[in-house]
A and B are shown apart, each in its own frame.
Chain A
Amino acid sequence: KAGVTQTPRYLIKTRGQQVTLSCSPISGHRSVSWYQQTPGQGLQFLFEYFSETQRNKGNFPGRFSGRQFSNSRSEMNVSTLELGDSALYLCASSAGTSGGPSSYEQYFGPGTRLTVT
């Protein structure tokens, strides 16, 4: 079974621009979560989508948004980029079924390294 894929792997943008990152979950997985990882703040949860609906949201400004399509693929968008948005953006997928230990098994993609100059 293919793993989680993220595109692009690397991206360089300038302040004020906007960016869209893409994530394809493992086949059959309906839950997609996004995380931001920086040296200073570590891994931080952005939001989770399940069946095209945002189910959970972290403490990030409204410049960070996302969506999920009917095939479970997800995109996240960051508008008006700031230097502090430079980070590794990780997508994770899980089966998303209700309850049970399997709900903790999130499978992460390789990430998109975003550099804002």
Chain B
Amino acid sequence: LAKTTQPISMDSYEGQEVNITCSHNNIATNDYITWYQQFPSQGPRFIIQGYKTKVTNEVASLFIPADRKSSTLSLPRVSLSDTAVYYCLAKGDTGRRALTFGSGTRLQVQP
């Protein structure tokens, strides 16, 4: 399992775009990159996943450069409700469902 490194915390204001970068230097060829969001006292919620280049859904975009040693989660025009902890995971498809969560990034959105 590739170890991931993210900033511990970030601050932003409503309406701004937030980019959270995750480093995964020893990512394996078959590893996918997945991001989860967690609010206090709730379970994590799947946001987005990708393998390379760019992936976009209705919630966020995920940018993965060609070397795949890092990835950036982009949240467009954040609101107060985006205040949460964001986890980056890099995991290969081994048929196992054990997710290894790091410390995550605590995003605080101010009015």
Binding site for B on A (CB under 8 A): 4, 31, 33, 35, 42-45, 48, 50, 55-56, 58, 88, 90-92, 94, 96, 98-101, 103-111, 113
Contacts and interface: CB of A to CB of B under 8 A. Distances in A.
A94 B97 contact: yes
B41 A88 contact: yes
B95 A45 contact: no
A4 B43 contact: yes
B30 to A, nearest CB: 10
14 contacts: A43-B101, A48-B96, A50-B97, A55-B95, A58-B98, A94-B97, A98-B95, A99-B95, A100-B93, A104-B49, A108-B45, A110-B42, A110-B43, A111-B42
B13 interface: no
Given A92-B97, A98-B95, A104-B32, 15 more contacts: A33-B97, A42-B103, A43-B44, A43-B99, A45-B98, A45-B100, A48-B97, A56-B98, A58-B98, A90-B44, A104-B34, A104-B46, A105-B49, A106-B97, A111-B42
Bin the interface of chain B by size.
Answer: 20 to 34
Nearest to B45: A108
B42 A106 contact: no
Contacts, number: 72
Contact of A48 (B41, B44, B51, B98): B98
Q: Is the interface of B mostly helix, strand, loop or mixed?
A: loop
A31 B49 CA distance: 19
A109 to B, nearest CB: 5
A4 B46 CA distance: 13
B68 interface: no
A56 B96 contact: yes
B91 interface: yes
Contact of A31 (B41, B42, B97): B97
A113 B103 CA distance: 20
Given A48-B98, A96-B97, A99-B93, A105 B46 contact: yes
